[in-house]
Structure 1
């Protein structure tokens, strides 16, 4: 068990950016066509309805209001024959692009829902979240800001920067549409974040991700910035430190980031209870009582990036980075005994020393084509080096009952190539893509048992998706095909194909209440460690063994969402059903007096 410590956090932020004045901009289109521009009036006023400034849209539906001071405002967009649209901008402290605003005809209900308290504009496939001044000032980095926004179902760990959904599903993080890891989000300066796009029902482009958080970040033409943040516990050696910097010149941006953490706990222990049933039906009830001991881990990461971008045309991003983790002392010290024979208590020493490193490179390119077409290409290369050692001992009356040592030195190389194409029509969108992953791993097991495994793996995923809007109904239909190939050298290979359909339907009853249903069929692949045909000693009674005969299994999922949004109140209700009839699960059986867990 770990002690609970009070953390002291601070942030030092300096900026030499040549920032523009506060500006509000956007684009107004007719909801029924999503292309026809509307000659609309745009009025900016305070909360007490005092006029501040105004503008009219041009022939393309674009508008811009300059020279706005910090404060609380309402942006009112109106046109003859259309319903008025009001967007609250509370705590405005930086330039804001409200994106595309669709106006419905006066006889129809609004297609947009505005939640004034959190500056959220809800569209049929995503939420546009505009951070206010208080949220920005209370945040040290992009992860902090996301936590302060308190988006529904989203869990943000302030200690390690991890982001997940409350059902355990993964969350894909992006910056300006490009997939990134949490390390790059931790390097973001909150004041540079214009808005966050939150996709609760992402399409097939994002695979099995339960949600997508896309940071839309400001670009400067000239200048730079430096950010430093630190967290340190006054009671134990627990810290988290980040430093990052950017330099902009015209269309180019150069970035660098570095982070590190030391974690050390002087009193950590484990308490465990296990029941073993033998062939003859008799049982052993084994108890483990932990003895406080020290454990520690240290990590660091960093990277550099170059970004070349021309608005509404193209973007090229190239980055290289690394991630290292060192756990010099991880494990537990305890007393081990069975209820049947409590006098035969042994001293258990189970400790490991793990070192892992992961250098990587990432090249991403996207291009806006003619006739509302979009193309993106991405190549990612990764090397993972693992050097792990484990020592396990059970001592009874100064004699070893069990004395195992194991070492694993592993090397894994992988490259991922992905292409994405999208075409937008008047009332719909077609998207497709293909993603290929090629991996090779070489693991050498030494110590009490000696093995060497070499594995090759290839996965290809292709998909097509069509989404659109019909009256008050938004829909998405898509399907993907996955080809998986795996071979452990010296054994037979296997090849499988999986069909992955997905659908989503959402209906807006009125400007306050909506319902959404989505369903999917996904294939889940066994991991390389599960497929590895080696034995690993756990303790004096147990052995862990891989199974090269494992096959992918299907995961059926159906989810229903009901949402209510009115003024400062936002209520969401979720329910889901999941069925995985052939799921990979652990089995335990007896062999030569040992319990085999496979």
Structure 2
């Protein structure tokens, strides 16, 4: 039966292709010189729907594969040249060569508004954003440019160099020319090198698991040359800084890039107010109040990356990347005053030292095969050496707790993927596998040596298709998960289907639906079987009996856009059966009463998220308003509690441009959330920033929490049948705080080589329970 079905599918594909042909052509200027990077778009004459989009290569040529027979509208555009429009007719089973097409250069100054309509192009499988000249000129790096673009629910902080998403459906991966990159890689990009940014929502398994979106930054092709520069953001109070030094050399098909990042944190005015109530076996409640008297934390993070890329156009891409990342936390001390029932004037001291070293090697090969086929192989080897030292003591009760953890981890991640593009879509299938061996040696008050081994593999098939106003993406994955720790082990095989559908009601209005069922794995740190005494009253305990759980998700979305207005609304319902959640329980079978922080598979964790995004541009895009609002409802259930809470969230930003100056104002409410028995009330934040940019030099000031001398604050509330905890954290140094940003770069014939690695398989989980 399966054989017959496969033969039928193969017959349909072959028959479909038999009636299709390729469209070829070459675009030149008036001097008959080839024009590269010309946008070539094919539309349906009936509903103006986009059928295919491509670009000319360095020799001015373009090819659109397997167009069905029929009539189409061809439109070729490039800034500074007159548009080329034509009606073309494809015949059955015949290729059409248009020959040489001429696009004269225009001397007319194009108004910003006249071209903005083509800067946000929606096709059936992605959103392509072409940055405007104003956006590029007023950006000092890739992160700042990315923040200026209309990408709903993408949360970017150019100062701290973080990229995340407000989309509850999963995380985000950012790529440069299809190569996964981190925030530091994006920060050092020259905005003038960025041609467009592609946004793919619900990307399936192609770029990894548990992703809500993939953002691909496409760079212009490069000539031989050299680039070097520096990019820094530092606090005037010297409480933190983020600094990059980088250089790139290109010769013919090869590119060598070396980058160094140096970050630090130095805080001495962060305090907490910790109120606890414990239910004792006698039925009485004991109250403990812990207040910070002084604290000091210093940390340094270093990162070195050496990347070599060899790209032979239309043939293959080979890439080798070496990483060395290290972190030192030489000082993390805190003195607290303890009061409460039976306690008066007690003092406690907490000292923490933390460091790790992690070298990694990433090898990647992508081979282009005939008939729009590609084959990819990637392998990453990682070694993590970590050391964690914790000590806690009180004066009057003479209670002491200390332990040291020495961790060693070796891991290997490999992936194979085959893909083929058709006129109607694409098919991809692959195997992704991870093996890790982790040993953590605990000494001191806690003594154990858990050894953890895990092997996780995914086999998947992903199909993307387009038909009239409909488009979609479906993925079917087989997950095999194996884990062993000493005598504890589990083996689980699951199926993970994912579906994403989109319907275009009009050229600027679309509806979407998504379904996702995935198996979520416990982290190595939670699986660690160690038990740690944190203070007089509480312990933290790992749980090697944790099991993966199923995450089921349904989503609806609607998108509407015009040259000035962009809006998106979405609704997501997520259900987690036997979710992995934290609990704080009472243990009575010890020499002393202890309240244990543990992780367990609980009953259910459900969430409803309603989100709206609005963006409006005016005054020729020199004044832009953006806003994100959401309502999140949580329902957590276990044997100890049933917690239901809902929270609103709002984020407003205004950006403006005057000459060489750019300005940004932002206001964000608390992003609150409930997880299990704990509610997080995060900080209110606001900021004002101004940047001056002249050629390749820029300097900027950011005023965080202006006129707010009290700083930022958050609180964490935990409540169940045995415990009530309310922890308030205050960071006075964050208030009324000014940062200085500086950027300079030197380029000589440098843009970017084509780097087409499209996976990010680095391992960063050390597996230590802290």
TM-score range, shorter chain: 0.7 to 0.9
Do the aligned partners of residues 55 and 474 (structure 1) sit closer, same or farther apart at CA in structure 2, a change above 3 Å counting? Answer: closer
Tell me the equivalent position of 1:488. Answer: 485
Q: Deviations over 1:149-168 (max 9, x none)?
A: 25210101223311111146
Tell me the equivalent position of 1:180. Answer: 181
Between the two proteins, the alignment pairs up a number of residues equal to: 530
CA contact (8 A) 1:222 1:250 kept: yes
1:134-533 equivalences in 2 (<5 Å)? 134-167=134-167, 169-205=170-206, 206-338=208-340, 340-341=341-342, 343-396=343-396, 400=398, 402-489=399-486, 491-533=487-529
CA contact (8 A) 2:413 2:433 kept: yes
Matched, 1:59 2:97: yes
CA contact (8 A) 2:42 2:73 kept: no
Do the aligned partners of residues 358 and 182 (structure 1) sit closer, same or farther apart at CA in structure 2, a change above 3 Å counting? Answer: farther
Do the aligned partners of residues 45 and 523 (structure 1) sit closer, same or farther apart at CA in structure 2, a change above 3 Å counting? Answer: closer
Do the aligned partners of residues 408 and 470 (structure 1) sit closer, same or farther apart at CA in structure 2, a change above 3 Å counting? Answer: same
Do the aligned partners of residues 291 and 45 (structure 1) sit closer, same or farther apart at CA in structure 2, a change above 3 Å counting? Answer: closer
Q: Distance in 2 between matches of 1:522 and 1:547?
A: 22
Do the aligned partners of residues 69 and 378 (structure 1) sit closer, same or farther apart at CA in structure 2, a change above 3 Å counting? Answer: farther
Do the aligned partners of residues 575 and 310 (structure 1) sit closer, same or farther apart at CA in structure 2, a change above 3 Å counting? Answer: same
Q: Distance in 2 between matches of 1:215 and 1:380?
A: 23
Tell me the equivalent position of 1:77. Answer: none
Q: Deviations over 1:237-277 (max 9, x none)?
A: 42211111111111111111111012111211122222222
Greater mean deviation of Cα atoms: 213-222 or 54-63:
54-63
Do the aligned partners of residues 215 and 562 (structure 1) sit closer, same or farther apart at CA in structure 2, a change above 3 Å counting? Answer: same
Q: Deviations over 1:97-129 (max 9, x none)?
A: xxxxxxxxxxxxxxxxxx45xx21112221111
CA drift of 1:68 comes to: 7.1
Per the normalisation by structure 1, the TM-score is: 0.83
Three-state SS of the structure 2 residue aligned to 1:279 is coil
CA drift of 1:359 comes to: 1.1
Tell me the equivalent position of 2:602. Answer: none
Q: Distance in 1 between matches of 2:99 and 2:434?
A: 42
Greater mean deviation of Cα atoms: 362-371 or 24-33:
24-33
Q: Distance in 1 between matches of 2:351 and 2:104?
A: 62
Greater mean deviation of Cα atoms: 141-150 or 564-573:
141-150
Per the normalisation by structure 2, the TM-score is: 0.65
CA drift of 1:185 comes to: 2.3
Q: Which runs of 5+ in 2 are unaligned?
A: 1-32, 45-49, 53-65, 87-95, 599-770
Q: Deviations over 1:150-205 (max 9, x none)?
A: 52101012233111111463211212112233332233222222211111221222
Do the aligned partners of residues 71 and 413 (structure 1) sit closer, same or farther apart at CA in structure 2, a change above 3 Å counting? Answer: farther
Tell me the equivalent position of 2:751. Answer: none
Three-state SS of the structure 1 residue aligned to 2:240 is strand
Q: Distance in 2 between matches of 1:245 and 1:468?
A: 41
Q: Deviations over 1:390-448 (max 9, x none)?
A: 1111223xx52x21111111011111001122112231221111100010011111122
Three-state SS of the structure 2 residue aligned to 1:183 is helix
Q: Distance in 2 between matches of 1:70 and 1:313?
A: 40
Do the aligned partners of residues 179 and 44 (structure 1) sit closer, same or farther apart at CA in structure 2, a change above 3 Å counting? Answer: closer
Do the aligned partners of residues 66 and 330 (structure 1) sit closer, same or farther apart at CA in structure 2, a change above 3 Å counting? Answer: farther
Three-state SS of the structure 1 residue aligned to 2:415 is strand
Do the aligned partners of residues 42 and 495 (structure 1) sit closer, same or farther apart at CA in structure 2, a change above 3 Å counting? Answer: closer
Greater mean deviation of Cα atoms: 471-480 or 179-188:
179-188
